[in-house]
Homo-oligomer: A and B are copies of this chain.
Amino acid sequence: MSALQGAGYRSGGARRQVVEFLGRQDCALTALEIDQGLPGVGRASVYRALEQLEQLHLVQSLDVGRDAKGYERIDPGGEHHHHIVCSRCGKVVPFEDSRLERAIDAVASESGFDVRGHEVTLRGRCGPCSKLRS
């Protein structure tokens, strides 16, 4: 919010609601899920807010294999997590790993890019699904 104001944005209701709603979630949600979770907010406003928030690096989008993109808030504290997705049942499990982060930081610093974020997704079958044949 303060970051929003600092970036020259007015404290409009819709965008603030999106940020706060995402802040309450444990893991990524799709734009449509966010829209459904905010009955008073128009769908277009949700998409517009997500676009702006992503540019401000307050929100990160990621592909969890579902039909739509997922969005989640970036923790200002710097801690963040990644995801393991079950390709059969769609379950998404977050994880974090400092060794992985260090490896990514090393790559980023050698890349010639001004890297602002990253995303890691593992895909496979969760415990229960790996015991099934189909």
Interface string of A75-113 (1 = CB under 8 A from B): 000000000101100000101010110111011100111
Give Cα A63 to B116, complex, Å. 16
A124: Cβ under 8 A from any B Cβ: yes
| Contact residues in B for A112 (Cβ distance below 8 Å) | 126-127
Q: Does A10 reach chain B (CB closer than 8 Å)? A: no
- Which A residues form the contact surface with B (CB < 8 A)? 62-63, 69, 84, 86-87, 93, 95, 97, 99-100, 102-104, 106-108, 111-127, 130
B119 touches A121 (CB 8 A): yes
Is B114's CB under 8 angstroms from A125's CB? yes
- B125, A116: Cβ atoms closer than 8 Å: yes
Cβ contacts under 8 Å, A108 to chain B: 122, 124
User: With A97-B103, A120-B120 known to touch, is A84 a contact of B111 (CB < 8 Å)?
Assistant: yes
Report yes or no: A120 in contact with B118, Cβ–Cβ below 8 A: yes
CA distance A107 to B97 in the complex (A): 7
> A62-B63, A113-B86 given as contacts; is B95 within 8 A of A99 (CB)?
no
Chain B residues closer than 8 Å to A87, beta-carbon distance: 116
- Complex A-B: 18 CB contacts under 8 Å: A63-B69, A86-B113, A93-B111, A95-B107, A100-B103, A100-B104, A100-B107, A102-B103, A112-B126, A113-B130, A114-B124, A114-B130, A115-B123, A115-B124, A118-B121, A119-B119, A119-B121, A120-B120
